[in-house]
Chains A and B, each alone.
Chain A
Amino acid sequence: MNGKKLAYYPGCPSAGTAVDQDMSTRAVFEKLGIELAEVEDWNCCGAAEAENPILVYALNARNLAIAEKEGLDIVTPCSICYYNLERSNIALKNDESLRAKMRDIDGSLDYKGGIKARHVLDVFVNEIGMEELKRKIEKKVNVKVAPYYGCYLGRPPVTAFDDPDDPILMDQLIELIGGECVDFSYMKTKCCGGPLMMTRADIAFEMAKNVLEAAKRAGADCIVLACPLCGMMLDAKQPDIEKALNIKIGMPVIYITQLLGLALGIDSKKLGLDKAAVDTKEIVGKVV
């Protein structure tokens, strides 16, 4: 990380369903004294829908090249964007012929392999560090949390920055801010079903329901997560899941950036906590 500045890649959901994740990410970094410079004219990473790796590399080469010109590492709050940015970064860094192929497509894809792509969770714990965060914590958030990591933080191995089977980085942050992690290890890294939402909603709903009900059974006050697709499935669609499967859940779901922001003393509205589909007032009420 180059001093106190990072290139910021918000990802497409930042303009809509995950505007709260974007707001809280910006607010937390501001409070931590790290400047986020939005990647100028960034394009979509290809998400899970671009299946051809060469297409993914090209889409991400453009974003990497823009950040590289500024000499900044890229940070993103989205797990899927992180996976696409970093796997492209690694593939391009290690393969001159692939870089040449990118240059042949367009000059704007001329990425030389000089930066890193990071997920916000990785930056919080492994770059800023627990000691520094501890010094900046102003409040205790006395909340029982089901830490939900989903897919792209601990796997695949090529881009992972946490354990594939029992990731711990969010657990550490939750404990740091005075929260308690409920027993959730068997569900932590299960997929939320999001990638099948538009083509097999029946499967997607079933998978999301499993995560939500596991958190409820474990006695959690809320689920904390780090991916906007998980956020959409588990929070924004939670009322649709309840209606379709004729069940009642009512499980608040918040982003790790929102939880950390509360502990840093940032106003809950500035963190977008009023935008969640499932009310988060009880969580905000546990800030002491």
Chain B
Amino acid sequence: MPIKTWELDPNFRNEIMNEPGGEHLAACFQCSTCTLGCPITEIVSSYNPRKIIQMSLLGMREEVLSNPDLWVCLICQTCTARCPQDVVVSDVLSAIRRIAEKEEEAGKLKIESPRPLFDKAFLHQLEKYGRLYDIGLAKEYYPKKEGSFIKGMRAMMKDYKDFGMRMFKKRKMGPKAMFPEKIKRTDEVKKIFEKIGD
């Protein structure tokens, strides 16, 4: 389908480049090295970071932000390591994801992937305790992902019952893992989140 030039947003590239990590977007010269080396393309055939960058440079804001493939990047850095133009591709994609999240918060976009919910639940643990608290993370993430507390707990049990028993038997997780490992000066970490956000 041809691009509708009248729908392009010429400011989109600046919007991305103003996000931390998005600065190098414009250096891309479309060689596709990022996509050719990407391990995700072997599993998700539509995945194409080169195309996401091209569409971003053209200003196809809506198409880019609603692309479900934004959320399957592993941040494995293969693309970044190989880019001849030093585009930090993983940081650029992460900058685009953060713009999509802001759009969703403003009610202008619906993100199907549960990844923003997971990242937020993860960071909430750090904000509260200074370290990751696995159970706290699961208790926040699963209900949000499934839409209700009961459904969330059911999904969590399905995913983690065997795993939990295995970790318990091997004494990797004992009664201590039930409680968060809280650092002493959580106020210092809280300040980081207050001033930067997540």
- Interface residue? B195 (CB, 8 A): yes
Known: A43-B189, A55-B198, A152-B77. A203 touches B166 (CB 8 A): no
- Asked if B130 and A43 sit within 8 Å, CB to CB, the answer is yes
Enumerate 22 A-B pairs (CB-CB under 8 Å) in ascending A order. A15-B131, A15-B177, A16-B167, A17-B167, A43-B188, A43-B189, A47-B132, A51-B21, A54-B20, A55-B193, A55-B197, A59-B192, A106-B191, A108-B185, A151-B77, A157-B81, A189-B78, A196-B74, A198-B118, A200-B71, A203-B43, A274-B170
| A contact patch SS | loop
- Asked if B77 and A52 sit within 8 Å, CB to CB, the answer is no
- Interface residue? B159 (CB, 8 A): yes
- Complex CA–CA separation, A46 to B126 (angstroms): 8
Binds B, one of A27-35, A218-226, A234-242, A253-261: A234-242
- Interface residue? A49 (CB, 8 A): yes
Tell me which of A16, A43, A198 contacts B173 (CB under 8 A). Answer: A16
- Interface residue? B63 (CB, 8 A): no
> Which chain A residue has the least Cβ–Cβ distance from B194?
A105
Range class of the B interface residue count:
35 or more
Q: Which B residues, 91 to 148, have Cβ-Cβ distances below 8 Å to chain A?
A: 91, 94, 97-98, 113-115, 118-119, 122-123, 125-126, 130-132, 134, 141
Residues of B within 8 A of A190 (CB): 39
Tell me which of B20, B141, B183 contacts A41 (CB under 8 A). Answer: B183
> Which chain B residue has the least Cβ–Cβ distance from A203?
B43
- Interface residue? A36 (CB, 8 A): no
Residues of A within 8 A of B197 (CB): 52, 55
- Asked if A198 and B39 sit within 8 Å, CB to CB, the answer is no
- Asked if B198 and A156 sit within 8 Å, CB to CB, the answer is no
- Asked if A43 and B183 sit within 8 Å, CB to CB, the answer is yes
Q: Which A residues, 188 to 246, have Cβ-Cβ distances below 8 Å to chain B?
A: 189-191, 193, 195-196, 198-201, 203, 206-207, 236-237, 239-240, 243
- Interface residue? A266 (CB, 8 A): no
Known: A106-B191, A203-B44. A44 touches B134 (CB 8 A): no
